[in-house]
């Protein structure tokens, strides 16, 4: 029996024993993890079966078809980035500690990378982690941290040696977001929603056992996170007709019935549907590399395509509303309890406003184009005059 047939049989047997509509979601996900059907490419005992990562999209699709909830939006950093990073770089003790509650949703994760003074240059970050016996003391500020206000764990990159060049003086940690010295403040967006946060770290304690990877290897570990992040962001609408393009079809149908749709809007819709389907299929290929492999540049293609397409699709939706597209019910501040607003909003106008951030979050579209230019097309890289300078000697504003 092929691995594909084996996986299909395992999922069928699992669902027969754990009916989706009568098994509590937490119990279902815990049992799925124990059965090795959480991330099939992961090692046995850690949510996987040690199979090829190309089988992961098949497993996800089988569970979705059976009526299981798509949990990605509710724990996008945990499922899309933290799991792969912990499995790739963590010890067996760290895998056992973090992976199961991450998959069940008992622990939400956030990503503590961006800083006010570093912009798109992650390696320029200034947050310091200073050894203090069997722990580190961390001081600094992180920004644009989705779901930090509900997260139990945070993926943290901090500088442990300012005398080394910026890429080599970094170390990666898992931060307990409930620890003393961790302060989370909301950042209100155009929609009124405050899913983003700024996080202040003041002598925050990180035990040595929560260091992920070797001292000074933070950049390499972070690349695993970032490459998986781009696939996770790009995967929204992973089934044909899902996501923003599905909303656009519904908006066009309503507009046509009301006499607001014309040949031009129909042409826009068809062109965008074709592009959305091409992007979806590209991301299916990229998602097949999540697991034991670090995704390649396909993740950047998917992320770039999703960001630009999502904005164009939702702009069409607003245009199809006519004058109603310019109205909104208010901007009262709200804070999501467990889901990122990255997938949009039930209000199509707020979804369009939210989509304007798609070309910034998870790496700007300009950064994605640089990655594709250098790593796919083989174009010369941008000048990097500070590559070999000690971080402490690099001028900063």
Which residues carry out catalysis?
A: 229
Give the residue from 350, 293, 301 showing the smallest Cα distance to 326: 350
Q: Which tokens go with 13?
A: 């047997």
Place of tokens 């092929």: 2
Distance CA 69, CA 354 (A): 23
Distance CA 159, CA 166 (A): 8
Distance CA 136, CA 129 (A): 6
Calculate the alpha carbon distances from 311 to 23, 176, 304, 350, 393 in Å: 38, 35, 11, 12, 40
Distance CA 191, CA 335 (A): 11
Q: Which tokens go with 356?
A: 């304007």
Q: Please state whether beta strands 109-112 and 153-159 pair in parallel, antiparallel, or not at all (unpaired).
A: parallel
Pair 40, 21: CB distance under 8 Å: no
Give the residue from 78, 64, 56 showing the smallest Cα distance to 295: 56
Distance CA 80, CA 74 (A): 11
For residue 28, the SS3 value is: helix
Distance CA 250, CA 160 (A): 52
Q: Which tokens go with 96?
A: 């056992």
Distance CA 170, CA 237 (A): 35
Pair 175, 142: CB distance under 8 Å: no
Q: What is the CA radius of gyration of the chain?
A: 22
Burial class (CB in 10 A: 0-12, 13-18, 19+), 395: exposed
For residue 390, the SS3 value is: strand
């Amino acid at each position: 029996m092929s691995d594909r047939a084996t996986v299909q049989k395992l999922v069928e047997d699992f669902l027969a024993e754990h009916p989706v509509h009568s098994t509590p979601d937490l119990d279902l996900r815990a049992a799925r993890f124990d059965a090795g059907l959480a991330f099939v490419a992961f090692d046995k005992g850690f949510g996987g079966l040690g199979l090829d990562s190309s089988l992961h999209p098949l497993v996800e699709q089988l569970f979705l078809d059976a009526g299981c909830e798509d949990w990605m939006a509710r724990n996008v950093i945990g499922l899309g980035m933290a799991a792969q990073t912990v499995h790739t770089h963590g010890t067996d003790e760290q895998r056992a500690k973090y992976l199961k509650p991450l998959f069940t949703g008992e622990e939400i994760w956030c990503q503590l990378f961006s800083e006010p003074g570093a912009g798109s240059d992650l390696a320029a970050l200034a947050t310091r982690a200073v050894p203090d016996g069997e722990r580190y003391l961390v001081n600094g500020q992180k920004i644009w941290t989705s779901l930090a206000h509900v997260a139990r764990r945070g993926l943290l990159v901090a500088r442990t040696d300012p005398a080394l060049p910026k890429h080599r003086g970094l170390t990666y940690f898992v931060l307990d977001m409930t620890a003393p010295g961790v302060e989370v403040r909301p950042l209100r967006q155009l929609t009124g929603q405050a899913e983003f946060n700024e996080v202040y770290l003041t002598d925050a304690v990180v035990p040595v056992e929560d260091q992920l990877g070797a001292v000074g290897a933070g950049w390499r570990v972070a690349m695993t996170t970032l490459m998986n992040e781009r696939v996770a962001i790009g995967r929204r609408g992973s089934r044909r007709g899902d996501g923003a393009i599905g909303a656009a079809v519904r908006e066009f149908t309503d507009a046509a019935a009301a006499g607001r749709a014309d040949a031009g809007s129909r042409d826009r819709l068809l062109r965008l549907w074709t592009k959305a389907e091409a992007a979806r299929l590209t991301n299916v290929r990229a998602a097949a590399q999540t697991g034991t492999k670090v995704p390649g540049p396909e993740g950047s293609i998917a992320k770039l395509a999703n960001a630009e397409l999502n904005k164009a699709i939702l702009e069409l939706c607003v245009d199809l509303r006519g004058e109603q597209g310019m109205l909104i019910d208010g901007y009262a501040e709200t804070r999501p309890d467990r889901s990122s607003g990255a997938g949009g909003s039930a209000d199509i106008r707020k979804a369009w406003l939210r989509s304007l951030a798609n070309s910034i979050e998870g790496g700007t579209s300009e950064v994605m184009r640089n990655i594709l230019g250098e790593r796919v097309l083989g174009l010369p890289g941008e000048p990097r005059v500070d590559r070999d300078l000690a971080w402490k000697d690099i001028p900063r504003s």
